[in-house]
Amino acid sequence: MPRFAAGVVRFQNNVYPGKQDLFEELSQGQSPEALFITCSDSRIETAMITQTEPGQLFHARNAGNIVPPHTEHTGGMTAAIEYAVAVLQVPHIVVCGHTGCGAMNGAMHPEGLDGLDHVRKWLAYSKSAVDIVDELAPNGTPEDRMQMLIEQNVLVQLQHLRTHPSVARRLAKGDLELHGWVYDIRTGDVSAFDEAQNKFIRVDAHYASQIAQLAGDHDCAA
């Protein structure tokens, strides 16, 4: 039996009984807090990173956490974004990149994509991020250039998000917030883009005031 199949058995026997009330509630519908766009990479476990329960995040995953700019062509990402924003009315969208991203390595070194025609075309949506790195750090070390690419790709995809009509409307109303994150697989650190500082900083620093408010609300509730 594959490990993932054995995991289903453990879930049914050991996990589900303790969360049955939650799943019965979720069977009636969903009201997630965020659309979480991240990479398909098997090392990215969003529930573990964010410590969220089922029903709290609406996921959209692909190679390179890419968001194609809006066009009249219907694709899976476009449909997921529209549904999350227009129907589920999520108040937050997160684009989360990660270290060691194979997609970004392919975008940086397209000569290694021979025979992967669909991958090559998909990664073209990150071409402007590669161009930014080439402009800002032409002589940087491979490690520094890759880290910059991972971050710039997140920012480029956030720009692409703004071209989607459902997103643009909600941003204009002021009831949707966009977040750019990068997850470090080795250290577990997550950084968020801070517009005021124009750089990625640790999540605990970026959201310090909100974290303090949540802690205060928890203390009051207790």
pLDDT digits (tens, 9 = 90+) for 163-194: 999 999 999 999 999 999 999 999 999 999 99
Evaluate if pTM is beyond 0.85. Answer: yes
DSSP string, 11-24: IIIIIGGGGHHHHH
Q: Which residues of the chain have pLDDT under 70?
A: 217-222
The confidence score (pLDDT) of residue 221 equals 59
**How far is it, in rounded angstroms, from Cα 30 to Cα 51?**
18
Instruction: Go through the domains of the chain in sequence order and give each one's CATH number.
Output: 1-30 (no CATH), 32-221 (3.40.1050.10)
> Would you call 61 exposed, middle or buried from its count of C-beta atoms within 10 A (0-12, 13-18, 19+)?
middle
